[in-house]
Amino acid sequence: MFPAAFDYLPAHSVDEALAALLKHGADARILAGGQSLIPAMRFRLARPTVLVDINPIAGLAYLREENGALLMGAGARDFAVEVAPFIKERYHLIFDAAAVVADPIVRQSGTIVGSLCHNDPAGDWGVVALAARAEVVVRGNAGTRVVPIDDFLIDSFTTAVGEGEMALEARFPTPNERTSGSYQKIERKVGDFATAAAGVQLTLSADGTIAAAGVAIGAAGPTAKRVVEAEKILLGARPSIAVLRAAAAEAKEISDPIADTRGDIEFKREMAGVLVYRGLLATLKRLQQGELH
Amino acid sequence: MIIRVTVNGTEFVRDVEPRTLLAYFLREHCGLTGTHVGCDSSSCGVCVVAIDGDRAVKSCTMFAVQADGHEITTVEGLAQGAALHPLQQAFWDCHGLQCGYCTPGMLMASYVLLKHHPNPSEPEIREALAGNLCRCTGYQNIITSVQQAAAEMSPQPVEA
């Protein structure tokens, strides 16, 4: 099916894009990778009357480390993240996720910032951003603000990006040497939405206890959610099977999925716990922790 | 909106509605029906084309206006005259197609893969083609075909 008619405005600068958004208000949408927006328009789930294409803006597809963070520009595509050696080496959680988003062709177009803005309940990047404690840089006519991911993801397909604003960049804190993470996802087939997903990131102190913990789950409610109670259990604890199980149980506890052809509610809630557990185990293995007891 | 798109080396200047999808632009405005349309929802990969030589896109999920000023390579652009591209020859030799419906997408996804990875491993080929469906389920021969083409296109140096 064809999308409803719209006006196409290619932007060649961020200012040009913002001017177009300001002029057209809620009728306008940003077109980045288009891998969620275009299918949504084809199914008439979205009917923007103006598309502001940010692909022509030069220099928006950057991936770079600066001031202790990995900066991903609004034009940065999943594929670029997947193949960047420094991401594979240091950003384990992000690397894991980049390899399982949609399918390899879609990843050559889809963008990370676009996915965060789309905020699909089963999207991957919201989960990763929560576990990694990312921030999103949002610019509008009134200026630029940096929004913590917890405040950015508001509800299904709803974010903190207001009318006339656009998300310019996602910022992921650079993990230190004692930090690792893991992304776990169950999908029926490549390219399907997640049946269940979990993102985990841990930092160990010199004495082996957990100094920082990020735990989030996806396809478990209206938007990706942080498992606050799991983080509390992990923080300060010495990793053990019992601690991991207790943290995983909290994920199951707050998982609030919908029943669909991918599974019933009980199964998906169970999987939220299982995936958090697997993610924690994989993270500790990467941190070269010995056998857990 | 008037757009200029170079397809397989030929410039096409056409007046299109912004909502025209690239797959339909290629088929209906350029007359290049080698690019197929299958699921029409970004799942099956039969519509894959290359943009600017090194990015594979599902052309049912990109607007033609986004290709303005860019170069598109479709399956029609692979052969040089009567000489098949090594990928096409390998699909022929290895029986990499049955009904042929998915073949243009398989070829173009493989074409971009080999641009990035001249010597992909078997798992890398399987992974790269994970967004392309073959409902004849001829995957094994498709993988073999891509392996043969990769070997053909970048022969290993012979030991002295």
Interface of B with A (CB under 8 A): 1, 17-21, 40-43, 45, 48, 55-58, 61-63, 65-66, 68, 109, 112, 116, 127-132
> Of B78, B75, B82, which Cα lies nearest the Cα of B59?
B75
- Tell me the per-residue pLDDT of A40-82, one tens digit each, with 9 for 90 and over: 999 999 999 999 999 999 999 999 999 999 999 999 999 999 9
Pick A293 or A268 by higher pLDDT: A268
Q: Which of A1, A6, A8, A29 to mutate to test the interface with B (most CBs of B within 10 A)?
A: A8
What rounded mean pLDDT belongs to chain A? 97
Q: Shortest Cα distance from A155 to chain B (angstroms)?
A: 25
The CATH architecture of the domain made up of A182-286 is 2-Layer Sandwich (3.30)
A63-173 classified as CATH 3.30.465.10? yes
- Look at residue A1 in the predicted model and tell me its pLDDT: 78
B41 to chain A: closest CA residue:
A39
Q: Cβ contact (<8 Å) for B61 and A4?
A: no
Asked whether residue B101 is domain-assigned, the answer is yes
Of the pLDDT bands very low, low, confident and very high (cuts 50, 70, 90), residue A289 is confident
Q: Pick from B77, B104, B125: which residue ends a domain? A: B77
- Look at residue A279 in the predicted model and tell me its pLDDT: 98
- Look at residue B154 in the predicted model and tell me its pLDDT: 85
As a whole number of angstroms, the distance between CA A185 and CA A197 comes to 4
> What residues in B contact A8, CB-CB < 8 Å?
1, 18, 63, 65
| Ramachandran assignment for A242, one of left (phi > 0), alpha (psi -120 to 50 degrees), beta (any other) | alpha
Q: Shortest Cα distance from B129 to chain A (angstroms)?
A: 7
Q: Find residues 165-194 of chain A whose CB sits inside 8 Å of chain B.
A: 190-191
φ, ψ dihedrals at A165, nearest 5°: -110, 160
Task: Return the percentage of chain A with pLDDT > 70, whole number.
Answer: 100
- Tell me the per-residue pLDDT of A8-36, one tens digit each, with 9 for 90 and over: 999 999 999 999 999 999 999 999 999 99
pLDDT at A175 over 80: yes
pLDDT at A231 over 90: yes
pLDDT at A224 over 70: yes
Q: Pick from B77, B102, B127: which residue ends a domain? A: B77
The beta-carbon neighbor of B131 closest among A34, A53, A190 is: A190
Domain count, chain B: 2
- Helices A265-286/A241-254 angle, 10° precision: 140
Asked whether residue B158 is domain-assigned, the answer is no
Asked whether residue B160 is domain-assigned, the answer is no
Residues paired with A167 in a beta bridge: A138
Q: Pick from B47, B77, B107: which residue ends a domain? A: B77
- Look at residue B159 in the predicted model and tell me its pLDDT: 58
> What residues in A contact B127, CB-CB < 8 Å?
104
Domain check: are B104 and B122 in the same one? yes
pLDDT at A263 over 90: yes
- Look at residue A282 in the predicted model and tell me its pLDDT: 97
Which residue ranges in chain B fall short of pLDDT 70?
155-160
Q: Cβ contact (<8 Å) for A108 and B18?
A: no
> Of B126, B3, B103, B111, which Cα lies nearest the Cα of B51?
B111
Contact indicator for B22, B59 with CB cutoff of 8 Å? yes
Q: Does A113 touch chain B (CB under 8 A)?
A: no
The count of CB pairs under 8 A between chains A and B is 81
Q: Cβ contact (<8 Å) for A109 and B62?
A: yes
Domain check: are B71 and B96 in the same one? no
Each domain of chain A, given as residue ranges in start order, spans 7-52, 63-173, 182-286
The beta-carbon neighbor of B43 closest among A43, A104, A191 is: A191
Domain check: are B8 and B65 in the same one? yes
Query: If you average pLDDT over residues A275-281, what whole number do you get?
Result: 98
Q: Shortest Cα distance from B88 to chain A (angstroms)?
A: 20
Domain check: are B112 and B71 in the same one? no
Asked whether residue B159 is domain-assigned, the answer is no
Residues paired with A145 in a beta bridge: A138
As a whole number of angstroms, the distance between CA A104 and CA A126 comes to 19
DSSP label at A151?
Answer: H
Q: Shortest Cα distance from B72 to chain A (angstroms)?
A: 15
Q: Cβ contact (<8 Å) for B56 and A108?
A: yes
Q: A5-17 as b/e, with b when 16 or more CB fall inside 10 Å? A: ebebbbbeebebb
And the tokens for B84? Answer: 């098949």
- Look at residue A293 in the predicted model and tell me its pLDDT: 79
DSSP label at A193?
Answer: P
Q: Cβ contact (<8 Å) for A42 and B40?
A: yes
DSSP label at A214?
Answer: E
Residue B107's domain spans which residues?
A: 86-153
- Tell me the per-residue pLDDT of A100-137, one tens digit each, with 9 for 90 and over: 999 999 999 999 999 999 999 999 999 999 999 999 99
CATH number of A7-52: 3.30.43.10
Rg over alpha carbons for chain B, rounded to the nearest Å, is: 16
Domain check: are B93 and B71 in the same one? no
The beta-carbon neighbor of B61 closest among A5, A35, A55 is: A35
Domain check: are B131 and B69 in the same one? no
Domain check: are B109 and B64 in the same one? no
